[in-house]
């Protein structure tokens, strides 16, 4: 290859990479914002309604709407993936980050009755740790994915334990400290991260 060919090929690469820049900013699915937002608001307002002694009907309606929205969202994602010609890298990154956040929140949701009434200060750290590890996991690190699930699952596990503090701490040790040590000992990993 001579300099002229190299210049031509570099120009072609540059054209392809520039073309990939999104013409506009990415937007979430608007229907998802509306339906899931409404469902979450119903759940929250329903909790207040229930505490005020008016029954659980609003909570049940909110939970039903949330479940239906989740199922529909999974179905739409599957259909979109099947019919699309390409998945732009930017969209994929946003999707993975959002999945990490909502997976952690969804798992933590089941710990509401006990953990988030008395142990919210500790549990919120586990939610943050789970989100972080799940993000690395969804971007291809299987070890981080397992770690993220471990931290997230420690929250509902703590919910049913007589000693929730120890379970939350165990989740952090297993899902954060242990993978941290393993990654630090991993020679290839150190080379990648410099």
Partner 1 sequence: MDELLLSKIRLGVIAELLTAEWIAFSELQRATQTTNGNLGAHLSKLVDAGYVAEEKSFVNRRPLTRYRLTPLGRNAFVQHVREMQSLLEQGEVS
Q: Identify the residue among 51, 52, 53, 85 touching partner 1 (CB under 8 A).
A: 85
Q: Smallest gap, in angstroms, from Cβ of residue 90 to partner 1?
A: 9
* Minimum CB distance to partner 1 smaller for 87 or for 173: 87
7 vs 54, which CB is nearer to partner 1?
7
The residue from 74, 76, 91, 128 that contacts partner 1 (CB under 8 A) is 91
Q: Does 10 bind partner 1 (CB under 8 A)?
A: yes
Q: Which DSSP category does 24 fall into?
A: S
Residues 121-140 touching partner 1, rule: CB under 8 A, are none
**Sole binder of partner 1 in the list 23, 30, 53, 83 (CB under 8 A):** 83
Smallest gap, in angstroms, from Cβ of residue 141 to partner 1?
Answer: 12
Three-class secondary structure of residue 167 per DSSP: helix
Chosen residue from 28, 55, 64, 88 binding partner 1 by CB under 8 A: 88
Please state, in angstroms and rounded to a whole number, the distance separating the CA atoms of residues 147 and 137.
Answer: 8
* Among the listed residues 27, 51, 82, 187, the single contact to partner 1 using CB under 8 A: 82
Sort residue 181 into left (φ over 0), alpha (ψ -120 to 50) or beta. Answer: alpha
Find the Cα–Cα–Cα–Cα dihedral 26, 32, 33, 37, rounded to 10°: -160
Question: Rounded to an integer, what distance in angstroms lies between the CA atom of residue 42 and that of residue 61?
Answer: 7
Stretch 17-46 residues interacting with partner 1 (CB under 8 A): 17, 19-20
- Identify which range of 16-24, 66-74, 97-105, 147-155 contacts partner 1 by CB under 8 A: 16-24
Which candidate, 134, 142, 125, 130, places its Cα nearest to that of 183? 142
Question: What is the rounded CA–CA span in Å between residue 45 and residue 37?
Answer: 12
Stretch that binds partner 1, among 2-10, 105-113, 161-169, 171-179 (CB under 8 A): 2-10
Burial label, 40 (beta-carbon count in 10 A; 0-12, 13-18, 19+): middle
Half-sphere exposure of 10 (CA within 13 A, CB side): 7
Binding residues for partner 1 (CB under 8 A): 1-3, 6-10, 12-13, 16-17, 19-20, 82-89, 91-92
């Amino acid at each position: 290859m001579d300099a002229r060919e190299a210049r031509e090929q570099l120009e072609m690469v540059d054209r392809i990479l520039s073309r990939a820049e999104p013409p506009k900013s990415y937007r979430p699915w608007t229907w998802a914002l509306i339906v899931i937002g409404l469902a979450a608001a119903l759940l929250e307002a329903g909790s207040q309604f229930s505490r005020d002694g008016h029954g659980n009907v609003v909570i049940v309606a909110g939970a039903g709407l949330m479940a239906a929205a989740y199922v529909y969202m999974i179905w739409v994602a599957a259909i979109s993936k099947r019919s699309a010609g390409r998945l732009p890298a930017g969209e994929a990154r946003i999707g993975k980050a959002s999945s990490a956040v909502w997976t952690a929140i969804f798992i933590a949701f089941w710990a509401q009755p006990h953990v988030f009434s008395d142990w919210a200060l500790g549990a919120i750290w586990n939610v943050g740790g789970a989100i972080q590890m799940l993000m690395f996991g969804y971007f291809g690190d299987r070890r981080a994915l397992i770690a993220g699930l471990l931290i997230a699952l420690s929250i509902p596990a703590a919910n049913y334990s007589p000693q929730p503090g120890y379970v939350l701490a165990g989740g952090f040790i297993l899902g954060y400290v242990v993978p941290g040590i393993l990654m630090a000992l991993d020679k290839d990993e150190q080379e990648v991260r410099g």
